[in-house]
Structure 1
């Protein structure tokens, strides 16, 4: 493994960081809102699936359980 000069490493790191395109405030806010909406929709979906499975399992158990 080659040994890198720390000063050169820092210089190259700064050069790479300067190439990063940072999102605007609006993009961050919109993405955050979309994440919260998708999380809420996912929670509702899995709640409905849970209710359906629970109802089906209760029906099967009550049918065979007496």
Structure 2
């Protein structure tokens, strides 16, 4: 590779923003998944108590 071709390749690589959108979507998806996990953990405790109460009534 000549020096000119290497400089052109480096310039194209540095100005290419096509991967930025994928990274942004990945960050959004990970943020949403964190919120979902937190909600499930928060609701899980109250559901367990409710099912334990129902289980006690059925026995």
TM-score by length of 1: 0.51
Do structure 1's residue 32 and structure 2's residue 22 form an aligned pair?
yes
Is the helix fraction higher in 1 or 2? 2
1:44, distance to aligned residue in structure 2 (A): 0.7
Count of matched residue positions in the alignment of Structure 1 and Structure 2: 42
2:35 to 45, 51, 65: 45
Match of 2:8 in 1: none
Distance apart, 1:56 and its partner CA: 1.1
Structure 1 runs of 4+ with >6 Å offset: none
TM-score by length of 2: 0.55
